[in-house]
A and B are shown apart, each in its own frame.
Chain A
C-alpha cells in the first residue's frame, strides 16, 4: 500500500479507534482489573482477591438462577417468537386488505422504549387490572394469575411482555427477507404445480434462512442482556425468580456498592455473550457471511 494511502487510512480511522478504545476497550480492561479486588468503590484498591469474585458468582445460587432465567428467555424466544414471527410475516406478505395498517400495528410496540413498555404492562398486569378484567369478561377468569407476584409465573409473564414488544421487529425483519426472494422462484414453483404450502415449505422458508439466522443471533444476545424491562417491572423478584444476569449485575455493582464483584459479574456476562457470538458466527452464520468477509 502506498504511504499516502496508509496515512489517509490512519487519519480517518484514528478518531473512531480512539473513541472505541476509550469508551469500549478501556472500560472493559478496567472492569477486568477491578474484578480481582474486593472493592466498594470508595477507598483505595487494596483487597486483592484474585479469582474469588468469579468463584463466588459461579457458585452462587442467585447468579446461577439468573443465568438460567436468561437461557429460558432465549430458548422460549426461539421456540415461540420465531414460529409466530414467520407465520405472521408470511401472512402479512400476502396481498390483503389493510396490509399497511396491519404492518404498522404489529410493528408499533417495537417503537416504544422498554421503560414505557414496562410501565404500561405494570398497570395492565396489576391485581384486578386490565388483563385480569379482560380474562374475566371473556369467561377465562380461572386463568387469572398473580402475574408479577408469583415466583412460578413471573418469568413467563415477562416473556409474554417481551414477545409483545419484539414480535414486530422479527416480523419486519422477516418481511424484508421475504421481499428479497425473487418473484420468479414462486412463479416457477407454481408452474411446476406446487401448492402454496409446498411453495412456502420448499422455496420460501429455505430462502429465509439467512434472515432467520440473523434474527436468532439478535434475539439470543438480547435475551442474554435483558435488563430494563425486568428492572422496572419486578426488580428481579419476587424471591429472585426473575433475576437476570444484568439485573444481578446492577443490583450488586451499584446498589450494594460491590464494585469489584459487580465487575466480575460484568466480565462473566461479557464472556457468555462473546462466546455465543463467536460460536454462532463460526457455525451458523458462516455460510451467510462467507461471501461478505471473503
Chain B
C-alpha cells in the first residue's frame, strides 16, 4: 500500500514537473542543503572543490553543501536516472550543448536566466554553450580549447623551424618528421572523439559561422562545406600522419595512449584540448615536460569559408535543478568569481572562464591557449556536444570509420542527418 502510494506520488510529481518548461528559481527560505554532483574524483580539482565546500559554508551559514564526486563516465547513467527521480541533485556537472538540451526535457532543470543576469557577463561568450532557446540552464566554470600540442625537441630534431600555420606547412612538417624516423602525430582513435576533432576543425575552417550555427540549430548538414570538410580529412589521412595502430590507441590511458606517446617523446604532436599537459604529465617520468611542449592552433585551410581564427572547444560547468534553484544560482556565481577562478587556474584544472584569472595559469602555454580562445572570433563547441547526444555519437562513429578506412565524406554528413531524423 505504502509503496503504491509512493509510486503514485512520484508519478504525479514527474507529471507535474514535466508540464511546461524549466521552472524559474524560487527564493530559498531558511537553511538549505545543496547536493552537488561533480566529477572531481582526483586531485588537483578534488581538493579545490573540497575547499570550496568549506569556504562557502563558512561564508553562508544557512547553506550546507553535500558534495558527491562521481567518475566522469558515471554521469551518463546517473543523470538520466536522477532526473527521473523526485530528488535529483541540486547542482550537477554539465557539459552543455546537446546533452543539456536532452536533459532539459526532464522538466527538472532550473532556468537561471534572471538569477544570473547580474553576473553572467563576467564570462562572456562562454555562457552560450549552456543556453537552450535563449534560456540560461547552467554555467561553465572552465573553458576548453582544442589545438596542437607538440614537442619542441622533436620538431627541431626533424628540422622544423616554426610551428605550422597552414595545412601545407603541417603536411610538410609531417613529411619531415617521418623522414627523421619519428611518428608525426598521435591520435587516440579507439575513443573516437579524438578522431572527430579533425573533422570538427576542418568543418570549422570550411564552413562559415552562419552556416554552422544554422546547421546545428536545424540539425541538417546541407551545405556542401560539410562534405568538403570530410574531403579535407580524407586528403589528410592519405598523408598517413598518425602513429602505427592509431585505430586501437586510447587517448588518455597509459603510456601507450596518444597523450602518453607525446609525453614520452614517441610522437611529435597531438590535436587535443588544453587539459593535455595535465594528462601527459601523469603519464611520464619527465619532470621538465612543460618546457618541452609547445602549442599551436589548428592550421588554416585554403579556400575555406570559416574564419581562420575560429576555435573548437567546450567547457565544464554545472546546472541547477528546481528545488533549490536560487541558492544554486548563487553558488554558481561564487564558482565563476575571481577567487575560485584563480584557485582553479592555479591548480591547473582548466582554463578559467573569468578573464581575471588567466594570469594565475601555471604555464606560458596555458596562458597562450587561454588568450587564443578569448581572442577567437568565435568558439565552436565540439559537434558531438553541440548536437543532441545520439547525433553527436553517430558523427563520431562515422568519422572514426573514415579513420579506419571505411565510409566517405558524404557518409559522415549522411550519418548525422539520418541520426537527426531518428535513424539508429
CB-nearest residue of chain B to A46: B18
B406 near A239: Cβ-Cβ < 8 Å:
yes
A257 near B192: Cβ-Cβ < 8 Å:
no
B15 near A151: Cβ-Cβ < 8 Å:
no
Any A CB within 8 A of the CB of B390 = yes
- Give the chain A neighbours of B104 by CB distance below 8 A: 42
- Give the chain B neighbours of A256 by CB distance below 8 A: 389-390, 393-394
Contacts A235-B191, A238-B190, A254-B76; is A42 near B422 (CB within 8 Å)?
no
In chain B, residues 61-82, which have Cβ atoms closer than 8 Å to a Cβ of chain A? Answer: 76-77, 80
B190 near A148: Cβ-Cβ < 8 Å:
yes
Chain A: minimal CB distance from B44 (Å): 25
Chain B: minimal CB distance from A228 (Å): 14
Q: How far is the CA of A28 from the CA of B272 in the complex (A)?
A: 42
Q: How far is the CA of A36 from the CA of B209 in the complex (A)?
A: 39
Q: How far is the CA of A56 from the CA of B390 in the complex (A)?
A: 15
Contact with B along A240-263 (1 / 0, CB 8 A): 110000000001101111110100
Contact with A along B368-402 (1 / 0, CB 8 A): 00000000000000000000011001100100110
Stretch touching chain B among A87-95, A121-129, A274-282: A121-129
Chain A: minimal CB distance from B404 (Å): 4
A146 near B247: Cβ-Cβ < 8 Å:
yes
- Give the chain B neighbours of A238 by CB distance below 8 A: 189-190, 247-248, 400, 403-404
Contacts A42-B83, A60-B424; is A254 near B254 (CB within 8 Å)?
no
Task: Find B102's partner among A42, A128, A254 (CB 8 Å cutoff).
Answer: A42
Task: Find B424's partner among A42, A57, A240 (CB 8 Å cutoff).
Answer: A57
CB-nearest residue of chain A to B77: A254
A240 near B401: Cβ-Cβ < 8 Å:
yes
- Give the chain B neighbours of A129 by CB distance below 8 A: 256
- Give the chain A neighbours of B250 by CB distance below 8 A: 122
Q: How far is the CA of A41 from the CA of B76 in the complex (A)?
A: 11
A41 near B80: Cβ-Cβ < 8 Å:
yes
Main secondary structure on A side of the interface with B: loop
Chain A: minimal CB distance from B146 (Å): 21
Any B CB within 8 A of the CB of A220 = no
Chain A: minimal CB distance from B182 (Å): 14
Any A CB within 8 A of the CB of B41 = no
CB-nearest residue of chain A to B191: A235
Any A CB within 8 A of the CB of B243 = yes
Any B CB within 8 A of the CB of A149 = yes
B424 near A56: Cβ-Cβ < 8 Å:
yes
Any B CB within 8 A of the CB of A154 = yes
- Give the chain A neighbours of B190 by CB distance below 8 A: 148, 234-235, 237-238
Any A CB within 8 A of the CB of B281 = no
- Give the chain B neighbours of A187 by CB distance below 8 A: none
Any B CB within 8 A of the CB of A147 = yes
Chain B: minimal CB distance from A159 (Å): 16
CB-nearest residue of chain B to A146: B245
A146 near B248: Cβ-Cβ < 8 Å:
yes
- Give the chain A neighbours of B401 by CB distance below 8 A: 239-240
Q: How far is the CA of A237 from the CA of B406 in the complex (A)?
A: 12
Any A CB within 8 A of the CB of B47 = no
Q: How far is the CA of A28 from the CA of B403 in the complex (A)?
A: 38
Any A CB within 8 A of the CB of B405 = yes
Any A CB within 8 A of the CB of B33 = no
B76 near A149: Cβ-Cβ < 8 Å:
no
Any B CB within 8 A of the CB of A43 = yes
Q: How far is the CA of A151 from the CA of B102 in the complex (A)?
A: 33
Chain A: minimal CB distance from B301 (Å): 25
Q: How far is the CA of A219 from the CA of B249 in the complex (A)?
A: 29
Contacts A123-B254, A146-B244; is A259 near B80 (CB within 8 Å)?
yes
- Give the chain B neighbours of A255 by CB distance below 8 A: 76, 389, 393
B393 near A127: Cβ-Cβ < 8 Å:
no
Contacts A234-B190, A239-B401; is A43 near B248 (CB within 8 Å)?
no
Q: How far is the CA of A127 from the CA of B250 in the complex (A)?
A: 12
A42 near B254: Cβ-Cβ < 8 Å:
no
B80 near A148: Cβ-Cβ < 8 Å:
no
Any A CB within 8 A of the CB of B194 = no
- Give the chain B neighbours of A123 by CB distance below 8 A: 254, 256
Task: Find A252's partner among B14, B243, B403, B424 (CB 8 Å cutoff).
Answer: B424
Q: How far is the CA of A261 from the CA of B394 in the complex (A)?
A: 14
B248 near A148: Cβ-Cβ < 8 Å:
yes
Contact with A along B7-19 (1 / 0, CB 8 A): 0000000110010
In chain B, residues 249-271, which have Cβ atoms closer than 8 Å to a Cβ of chain A? Answer: 249-250, 254, 256
Of listed B83, B189, B407, B424, residue having the most chain A CB within 10 A: B424
Q: How far is the CA of A44 from the CA of B191 in the complex (A)?
A: 32
Q: How far is the CA of A53 from the CA of B117 in the complex (A)?
A: 43
Q: How far is the CA of A235 from the CA of B191 in the complex (A)?
A: 7
Contacts A148-B190, A151-B247, A256-B393 known; 16 new A-B pairs at CB < 8 A: A42-B84, A43-B107, A123-B256, A127-B256, A129-B256, A148-B245, A151-B405, A237-B247, A237-B404, A239-B405, A239-B406, A254-B76, A256-B389, A257-B389, A257-B390, A259-B80
8 closest A-B pairs (Cβ-Cβ)? Answer: A149-B248, A148-B248, A239-B404, A238-B247, A43-B105, A149-B245, A41-B80, A42-B106
Can you report 26 A-B residue pairs in the complex whose CB atoms are below 8 A from each other? A40-B80, A40-B102, A40-B105, A41-B80, A42-B80, A42-B103, A42-B104, A42-B105, A53-B424, A56-B423, A127-B244, A146-B244, A146-B245, A147-B248, A148-B247, A150-B245, A237-B247, A237-B404, A239-B247, A239-B405, A252-B390, A254-B76, A255-B76, A255-B389, A256-B393, A257-B76
